[in-house]
Structure 1
């Protein structure tokens, strides 16, 4: 199941997490007909260094930026859970809320952040990232498939259990699956450019992202000149 699935759910902590980590792969899937849904645990209201706007204004701005970014790679359905940015924990409530969306979307594949700290890339190991990843993994197994978990989802909301076949993990140690995004790299950059509040100059960021994707491709043994996002694929069916 490394080809494009029929449905995929991308669970991230903040607006822009998906665009840094997997937007190229999402663009490839969307081109192939995959119905992709983005689920952001927070609105990203604690992002950026400026304090000229209040949290609600920042949240609204970042939600709109994420919707524009998603559109650049073919994603029309972007959802937000509204948990507090910078204070995410892998709570039962968060597990339930992610399991709810899994049962609604019924994806074959979930993409999410690593719950493991990567000591070689500390920036990828934001506490919100690890907490969102932990909650998402637990929502996949056992919560979304277990009729006894969060019973209100079934008895009050009519959401039948759903088993996700695969989880693709980003941002953690030891990724083993490269996704060649060379042909859609410009779309990934267009998605990143939508996050104007977080990225001052996209022309400065582009060489860094290109170098990062090239290093991923080289490490995976892809031909010179190719660019890749990398994942750890976990079979969860």
Structure 2
């Protein structure tokens, strides 16, 4: 049975910034199946298109980026700046987990510059705990009998916050890093699929080149570990979650 990794991030290009190198290595080196999910379709990410138009474009970009590494893309259809920890959103994430059945899950840092990221992190944390509980979706509207509860809580990893800091600019250090030097070009090709975001990020964030920005952050984390490019993570180690660092065991830590 093929092992599965699932990244659940807020927006369609977040995985490409934060954890795609690790996903690529799991697929290439270990034969894992990979799924990438976004909580929203990125419907606010344009100054030229309507929300419906940019959402359609960005779903396509997300699917193309995932397909570039043989992965599947999912959108949970919340809306930008409206990702909230609530019952409907939590049920969506639990249903996705039960459908995909991942052994490893990646999500945002609990502390980040963007509330969509922080709310996504909380939703994924709660959903990984809830997904093995049969009563959680029992008799809920839309419950899918084809996808029973998970057998156990998956390994949960938090990616670096963007630029490695919280909302107050305080550094958040990763617990370990994964060397992604050998796959940085593949990661760049995934991110380049999100062409619609270049103009938007130039206008709103002052960032002119998605791929260069990603590589610069990867190089910063790599320099801290003595390699060319790296991605940083912290593992959720709360009660009942797996405590063995499966990702580090599979890919090494730097």
TM range (shorter): 0.7 to 0.9
Q: Does 1:166 align with 2:168?
A: no
Q: Is the 8 A contact 1:193 1:199 kept in 2?
A: no
Q: How does 1:125-204 map to 2 (within 5 A)?
A: 125-141=113-129, 143-152=130-139, 156-158=143-145, 159-162=147-150, 163-172=152-161, 173-200=172-199, 204=209
Q: How does 1:114-129 map to 2 (within 5 A)?
A: 114-117=109-112, 125-129=113-117
Mark the CA change 1:205 to 1:55 in structure 2 (over 3 Å): closer, same or farther: closer
- 1:209 paired residue number: 214
- The root-mean-square deviation of aligned C-alpha atoms, in Å, is 2.2
Q: Does 1:68 align with 2:67?
A: no
TM-score (norm 1): 0.85
Q: Which has the higher strand share?
A: 1
Shift of 1:53: 1.8
Residue from 16, 37, 40 that aligns with 2:38 = 40
Residue from 61, 81, 84 that aligns with 2:79 = 84
Q: Is the 8 A contact 1:95 1:135 kept in 2?
A: yes
Q: Is the 8 A contact 1:178 1:228 kept in 2?
A: yes
Shift of 1:199: 1.9
Q: Is the 8 A contact 1:23 1:73 kept in 2?
A: no
Whole-angstrom distance in 1 between the partners of 2:76 and 2:212? 33
- 2:250 paired residue number: none
- 1:121 paired residue number: none
TM-score (norm 2): 0.79
Whole-angstrom distance in 1 between the partners of 2:198 and 2:142? 44
- 2:9 paired residue number: 12
Q: Structure 1: any 5+ residue segments left out of the alignment?
A: 118-124
Q: Structure 2: any 5+ residue segments left out of the alignment?
A: 162-171, 243-254
Q: Is the 8 A contact 2:107 2:158 kept in 1?
A: yes
Q: Is the 8 A contact 1:8 1:34 kept in 2?
A: yes
Whole-angstrom distance in 2 between the partners of 1:182 and 1:156? 42
Shift of 1:207: 3.9
Shift of 1:80: 0.9
Structure 1, residues 85-109: CA drift from partner, whole Å, max 9, x if none?
Answer: 1111011111111111111111110
Q: Is the 8 A contact 2:160 2:231 kept in 1?
A: no
Q: Is the 8 A contact 1:24 1:184 kept in 2?
A: yes
Residue-pair matches, total: 219
SS in 2 for 1:15: coil
